[in-house]
Chains A and B, each alone.
Chain A
Amino acid sequence: MAAPHTAAVPHLDALGPRGPYRTLAPEPVTDVTGTEVARLSLVPPVYVDRAMAALRRAAPPSPDRIDGRLAAAAESFASGTVGGLGVGAYEDLVSRTSGTPLRVVRAATRDTARFVARARTSADQGRPRGTAAGLWGAAPRAVWARRGEVFAVNASGNHPGVHRLWLEALALGYRVAVRPSRREPFTPHRLVGALRQAGVGEDQVVLLPTDHRAADTLVHGADRSVVYGGDDVVARYAHDPRVLPQGPGRSKILVTADTDWRAHLDTLVASVADEGGTACVNATAILVEGDPAPLAAAVADRLAALPSLPPRDERAVLPVAPLERARALGSHLTKVAAGTRAWLGGDGVVDDLGDGSAVLRPAVHQVDSARAGQLRAELPFPCVWVAPWSRSDGIAPLRDSLVLSALTRDGALLDALLAEPTVANLYIGDHPTYWMAPGVPHDSYLSDFLMRSKAVIGAR
């Protein structure tokens, strides 16, 4: 029942309001081959409850010091030693447990540090222009105020970049609890550790690894929560105004007849496969006005050339998973793809590395209609559905997109896409779907969910 005993693997303690906390029997964290690489302390619900109560009693992070602290935390996250791990050891652990290619992890470290350093200014981008950030200076008439005190994030482990968002909550004065993914707890552990080294209080930001049963306790104890998951999670929290679910991104690319896709092939391929294809901003579908076959063939041709390598290989670009999970994903794809034309991956996407893990190779399938159900099938590896699109389809097939990249010169169509409420982000022209930057909204500004504008008449 237990994983083989390994000497001296790092311990990831819970980072509670009174310091690190190690449980009586920390759980093994295994890499994609099943080797134990760390021990994670999963705290029970009663610990979560008490930690959330401590956050609620704590003062907000000091606004005049937060920029300096975020900058210092960004610096130690990117290059320091945090929780006994140097950055190289940290990146190695992330790569081997999540199966994310090492070079993707390294790039993510640098990007995350940038987001951390700028978290307050990024958050401030979402402040309505009629409000002031606080009660100082001339009578402001309106102040941007928090909707609550305690923020929780129930995070995922698909990509280290998931942890860029919640720093804004801290910058806005929330006290923050992070529940890490059990598969990849290293990134939030390092971030919370870096923030504490930089002077953020132990009762202002906590890391609470838990099993599933305590996840509800976390959300219950917070005023506002972000919860990552599938459609089930989105449905479950759809009517809870205190929870912002982050579900499948279903990012898409549209190419209309007035634009030659051949000039944008690099961007199309990158949108599908960069970042290992594991991000919510990777393209799930490409819709093309005209015959989709040549585009599908060209994308398939490029993706077929990507090598199958273990994630820690410097040249690796494709994601790796434990063999059993890879097989489950592979057979799910086979089932979903029934009736479509496979350009790549039709014979299976699982490439067994022989060490207990397998590469998830890219898949390109052509469907016969813009309304095919497959266009919603987002999977955690480079997997794209290519569909024909015509004016008569309208924008319905483009709905429900975290990012829609539109390669078109049709202004009226762009206006319609801009007006479409279920398209969260619209990238016009040659921009990969995964493009992100501090201060640019990801799924609207997080502050839309965290803050309100409050009239304040009279001076302090």
Chain B
Amino acid sequence: MPYDPGTVLDAGPSAGADPDAFVRAAVAWHFDPATGSRFWLDRAARLGFDPRQDVKGVADLALFPDLTHELRTVPAADLVPRGYGDRAGLLNVFDSGGTTGDPKRVVQLADWMRHSTEQVARGLRAHGLPAGAPWLSVAPTGPHLVGDVLTRAAASLGGPALGVDMDPRWVRKLAAAGRTDEVAAYTDHLVDQCRRVLVSQDVRVLAATTPLLERLAREDDLLDVINSKVEAIVWGGTHMDPDTRFLLSTEVFPDVPLIGMYGNTMMLTGLIERVGSSASDPCVFDPVSPSVFLSVVDPGTGAPVPSGARGQVVVSHVSRSMFIPNNAERDTALRVAPAAGQVGDAVADVAPMATVAGTTVIEGVY
């Protein structure tokens, strides 16, 4: 099967493609020796089933093991499906955050970037984001997906994104070593850069991570600036607990709508919060058929949790550019019915996986 743009596999998220047909086409592409990536062709024999025979639709993605840990070491070039020939358009190699070991790597090809940007921009437009408005995007860039998603979304809405870069890995390293002074100094440095942009530029959309928004809440002068001229705040890159979301919406930024974006590297895009919830409602993220499927499962058994219950988030990314089925994220969420036209689960109130409480004894009575 040569690269033949225009088939179902090139349908964007808004094209209304049949998800089962899309998944079958994707599996046919990724596991065909003529078109698949070296990564999948090398692993096909180990699967214990024949994807091209046995995968009939979305539900069969559950057949695949979670092989994302192998993305820590695989050469990035091995991830590009060979069926593209010289038309792959490799734009970026992104790293996962590396919270649990070395980062995992994924590739962003030009066709997927267009689909991803389109669905993010569509989600933001649904929240009434202004077109042609300048953004300030305070998010990790370079090897990190989130900064790229935000910058491209701003451009797609016709707004230039002014940026403040950050290195979350360094901050995590400082925090793990207990160097809280240095964490504070680094964060102050980010705030200083934000202040210059916010004060001097006509910023109308602010995109930032949760900790940065929490930190900005301490700066009375910046709160005045943000509440008076910013028309929307997009938060993402990390979790936001429901109480923080409520307080930021109602007390800190009472005049600015707060719009959540949930994504991770293996998803290769960001999901924009469902429209219409209040500050105290759960923050819901819908999947993006036919390319991003979510399920919420019991981490012990892998079985779906009941609707409304909390479980581990499992993400599948399916596109012509990459195939990352059944990736168990280090996130938990409430299982929610998806919006009309979407398959699988939607997720609400995404939170980090609770770390297993150790039984180490620290001496002393406190």
* Cα–Cα distance between A249 and B365 once the two chains are bound (Å): 8
State in angstroms the CA–CA spacing of A231 and B363 once bound together.
8
Decide: A378 near B363, CB < 8 A? Known: A46-B244, A47-B243. yes
Interface: B247 (CB within 8 A): yes
B361 touches A329 (CB 8 A): yes
- Is A146's CB within 8 Å of the partner chain B? no
- A25 contacts the other chain (CB 8 A): yes
Partner of A49, one of B217, B242, B366: B217
- Residues of chain A within 8 A of B361, CB atoms compared: 328-329, 332, 379
Candidates B217, B360, B362, B365; contact of A46 at CB < 8 Å: B217
Asked if residues B218 and A49 are in contact (CB atoms below 8 Å), the reply is: yes
Residue ID in chain A nearest B354 by CB atoms: A1
Residues 325-366 of B contacting A (Cβ, < 8 Å): 359-366
Interface residue count on the B side (C-beta < 8 Å) = 25
The 8 Å CB contact of B366, one of A1, A23, A280, is: A280
A228 to chain B, nearest CB (A): 4
Q: A25-B242, A328-B359 are in contact. Are A278 and B365 (CB under 8 A)?
A: yes
CB distance B218 to A53 under 8 Å? Answer: yes
Residue A391 is within 8 A (CB to CB) of chain B in the complex: no
Contact flag A156-B366 (CB < 8 Å), given A24-B280, A44-B241: yes
Q: In A10-27, which residues have CB < 8 Å from any B CB?
A: 23-25
Query: Is the CB of A230 closer than 8 A to any CB of chain B?
Result: yes
Known: A220-B184, A328-B359. A378 touches B364 (CB 8 A): yes
Q: Is A348 an interface residue, CB under 8 A from the partner? A: no
Listed A/B pairs (24) with beta-carbon separation below 8 Å:
A24-B243, A24-B246, A24-B280, A44-B247, A46-B214, A46-B247, A46-B248, A47-B247, A49-B217, A158-B366, A216-B180, A230-B363, A230-B364, A230-B366, A236-B178, A247-B366, A248-B363, A279-B365, A280-B366, A325-B359, A332-B361, A379-B361, A379-B365, A380-B365
User: Are A246 and B366 within 8 A (Cβ)?
Assistant: yes
Whose C-beta in chain B lies nearest to the C-beta of A156? B366
B24 to chain A, nearest CB (A): 36
A379/B243 in contact, CB under 8 A: no
In the bound complex, CA of A279 to CA of B365 (Å): 6
Hey, what's the 0/1 contact readout for B171-203 against A, CB within 8 Å counting as 1?
000000010100010000000000000000000
Q: Are A228 and B366 in contact (CB under 8 A)?
A: yes
**Complex CA distance for A278 and B364, rounded to whole angstroms:** 9
Tell me if A83 is interfacial: C-beta within 8 Å of chain B: no
Q: Convert A1-44 into 0s and 1s, putting 1 for each residue whose CB lies closer than 8 angstroms to a CB of B.
A: 10000000000000000000001110000000000000000011
Question: With A46-B247, A49-B214, A216-B180 in contact, do A229 and B365 touch (Cβ < 8 Å)?
Answer: no
**By CB atoms of chain A within 10 A, which of B178, B247, B366 has the most?**
B366
Task: Determine the distance from Cα of A236 to Cα of B181 in the docked complex, in whole angstroms.
Answer: 11
Q: With A and B bound together, what is the CA distance between A247 and B364 in angstroms?
A: 7
Q: Is A50 located at the chain interface by the 8 A CB criterion?
A: yes
How many residues of chain A have a CB within 8 Å of chain B?
Answer: 42
Whether a CB of chain A sits under 8 angstroms from the CB of B251 is yes
A292 at interface by CB-CB < 8 Å: no
Q: Is A86 on the interface with B (CB-CB < 8 A)?
A: no
A232 contacts across to B, CB distance below 8 A: 362
Interface residues of A, Cβ cutoff 8 Å to B: 1, 23-25, 43-47, 49-50, 53, 156, 158-159, 216, 220, 228-233, 236, 246-249, 278-280, 282, 324-325, 328-329, 332, 376-380
Complex contact B359–A46 (CB within 8 A): no
A43 and B243 form a contact (CB under 8 A): yes
Q: Given known contacts A156-B366, A248-B364, is B310 in contact with A1 (CB within 8 Å)? A: yes
Q: Check B252 for interface membership: any CB of A closer than 8 A.
A: yes
- Residues 243 to 267 of chain B near chain A (Cβ within 8 Å): 243-244, 246-248, 251-252
**Complex Cα spacing A120 to B244, Å:** 37
Most buried by A among B184, B243, B247, B362: B243
A301 to B310 CA separation, bound complex (whole angstroms): 52
The residue of chain A having its C-beta at the shortest distance from the C-beta of B244 within the complex is A44
CB distance from A311 to the nearest CB of B (A): 16
B210 to chain A, nearest CB (A): 9
* Chain A proximity mask over B148-184: 1 for CB below 8 Å, otherwise 0: 0000000000000000000000000000001010001
| Closest CB pairs A-B (n = 8) | A248-B364, A156-B366, A230-B362, A332-B361, A44-B244, A328-B359, A230-B364, A228-B366
**Residue from the set B359, B362, B363, B364 with the largest chain A CB neighbour count within 10 Å:** B364
Contacts of B280 on A, CB cut-off 8 Å?
Answer: 24
CB distance B359 to A324 under 8 Å?
Answer: yes
Q: How far is the CB of A339 from chain B (nearest CB, A)?
A: 18
Instruction: Known A-B contacts: A46-B244, A53-B218. Give 13 more (CB < 8 A).
Output: A45-B244, A156-B365, A158-B365, A159-B365, A220-B184, A231-B362, A232-B362, A248-B366, A280-B365, A332-B363, A378-B365, A379-B361, A380-B365
With the chains together, A334 CA to B142 CA distance in Å?
A: 51
Contacts of B366 in A (CB 8 A): 156, 158, 228-230, 233, 246-248, 280
Nearest B residue to A246 by beta-carbon distance?
A: B366
Q: How far is the CA of A110 from the CA of B242 in the complex (A)?
A: 40
For residue A325, which residues in chain B have a CB less than 8 angstroms away from its CB? 359
CB distance from B206 to the nearest CB of A (A): 16
* Chain A residue at minimum C-beta to C-beta distance from B332: A1
Q: How far is the CB of A6 from chain B (nearest CB, A)?
A: 18
Nearest Cβ on chain B to A191's Cβ, whole angstroms: 18
Given the complex, which residues of A lie within 8 Å of B217, measured CB to CB? 46, 49-50
CA–CA, A25 and B351, complex, Å:
13
Closest to A232 in B: B362
How distant is the Cα of A23 from the Cα of B310 in the complex, in angstroms?
Answer: 18
Interchain nearest-CB distance for B122 vs A (Å):
29
Residues of B within 8 A of A248 (CB): 363-366
Bound Cα distance A229, B252 (Å): 33
Of chain A, the residue at the smallest CB distance from B309 is A1
A229 — which chain B residues lie within 8 A by C-beta? 362, 364, 366
CB contacts (< 8 Å) of B364 on chain A: these are 229-231, 247-249, 280, 378, 380
- In the assembled complex, the Cα of A233 lies from the Cα of B365 at a distance in Å of 13
Contacts of A158 in B (CB 8 A): 365-366
| Nearest A residue to B211, CB-CB | A45
Contact with A along B232-247 (1 / 0, CB 8 A): 0000000001111011
Cα distance A47–B217 when bound, in Å? 10
